[in-house]
Structure 1
Amino acid sequence: MHGVAIVGGSGYTGVELMRLIDAHPDLRLMAVSSRQYLGRPVADVFGALRGRVELSFSAPDAPELLDGVELVFLAVPHKAAMAAAPGLLAAGRKVVDLSADFRLRDAAVYEKWYGPHTCQDLLAKAVYGLPEFYRHQVRRAQLTANPGCYVTSVLVPLVPLLRAGLVDSQSLIADSASGVSGAGRGAKMNLIHGEVHEDFKAYAVAGHRHTPEMEQELSLAAGREVRLTFTPHLLPMDRGILSTIYARPVAGAGEEDARRCWQEAFADEPFVRVLPAGVLPQTKHVRGGNMVDIAVASDPRSGLLKIFSALDNLTKGASGQAVQNANLMLGLNETTGLLGLATTP
């Protein structure tokens, strides 16, 4: 049994981590922190965990937070993770960071989108935690940067196609729609029920913070600089992401070539499902699970490929992927605790 702790357990990713760890046969949650709920029983804040998680929230810098702990999940906002990670690593703990603080390799790019980075020496040491493409590096990592939810939905289908040279790297467009839990658990006027119910809207149209993360990984896959046109949308539902990506095929490649490329790339991947021709992803089919469903269809009028992906933004898009990374870092089977089916309806 491997002891783990969560720093920042009061948000949606924190409670999702607790849900997954509770069902994990090889992980034991030793501590969870929250400044907001300091001293309160976890079950008083999250009733779904009553009778299962008997801990109370501790301070994020409490010494007992590391007692019996091998790995720490940082489920804290951007900036807070870079402050916490050095001390945890110095104490000999492995770290999975769910924020954006260590995802970008170039400090200047980070600072353009997020502000000053105070822990730049760790950027080169952090491993980008998308196991489908960086599994071997994650196994050896002390610090893993868990990818963003929008990013995962775009990278999983696009990276193999760019590596194979099947799509033009200079004409990529992605439209992604996410449930409101992707914006976090904090009280915000634009996210209350009366504002989002029966509404559907785009946001951050001048540039979303996840864009440079996508471009970083897509450029590595293509072997040249990639510029992506990305537009996020807010869906009036709790959780889930559906992405639609438009790509121009190269040298006459079509949807069968794309599907064949995916089938080869993901043949042994436990959490990627390549859907058959004529079947499109749906968020209900991945809700609460760690799967990514991908599909492709050609548009005979424009000649473009329409690429689709669906995932749960809190599971494969955040906490499920974090547990997947933790499994690798702790020498466990990657799928342990993550093979539960999606909830339908």
Structure 2
Amino acid sequence: MGDRIFRFGQRQVSETDLVRWVVILSLTTCCILISAIAFLHAIPYINYQLFFIPIIYTAYFYPRQGVYVAAGAGVLYQAVGYAYTYPNPAAMLGVTAEAVFFIVTAVIIAYFINKIRSGEALYRTVFEHSQLGIILFTREGFAITETNDKFAAMLNFSPEEILIKKFTSLFFIEREKERFLERIEKFPEVSDFETRLSTAGGDACWVNLSWNRVDDLTVSCTAVNINARKLAEKLNNDNMMKYRQLTENSPTSILIVQNGKIIYANPTFTEFSGYRSPEVIGRELTGFIDPGDLHKFSEFTGRWADRRPATTQAEFRFLRKDSGVRVA
């Protein structure tokens, strides 16, 4: 539940802010009274140090207002100090220096608090809106301490469901988990570690992990979803395997020619030509054509450069390794 809101004219103040300002005013009032008593009884080192309590408290939660509180506390402290030290100029100068020190302290604290909060805001923006999945987990036990929505969505979990899991429990199979544990044990910083994680539905999701240690207790890890690429590679490999099986077992000679040179020949062509496969690969195709057919063959291959080459057929005499001639 959120804080209750109180209205003071046109201004709205949350319950938390109201309580904090009551504490600040109470502390400041107590400091003024204690300082007055300390001046009255000449008790050293107890008056001005007390004012740092409300000043630091205010500057931490409200950096800009902390400077104003320090200035107000300095004026009140000066008024009390002057009342008890007048007409001693040295004592009055000391009171003034202490009051100025209040403001300097508040300005320094406010500056560093603003720098810290700006850094936190930048980190939070990058963390929450990054296109990478980001996970923080403990070095011992691998408990997930923080994750962004991108990583949770990658595995079809909600952020709350991810946070109750151990990072090592997300690996798809035990062998993937063992590979990860071996790698992180040897290398505190790793890039491009491809593995499979388990989705909420129990399916495998290929990811590319990179991690480094934030400190002795925490590891920061990023995850890139490469599932689509891996599936495409598998499909391509399957197609290549089917194509190779088709060409290797085809009763028809099949050649792949690039820039006039043979880069692939199936077993049927090697049997047809009498040459072994290593003797065929890399040779000019024209080296197998009978010299009397070279002109006709040149016209035939000239059509290969057309943007939309038509399917054509022609017969040529091929020279075999045993000096025989075969027509194809």
Work out which structure has the larger RCO, using CA pairs closer than 8 Å and 6 or more positions apart in sequence.
1
Larger radius of gyration: 2
Task: Please tell me the TM-score bracket, short chain as reference.
Answer: under 0.3
TM-score by length of 2: 0.18
More helix by share: 2
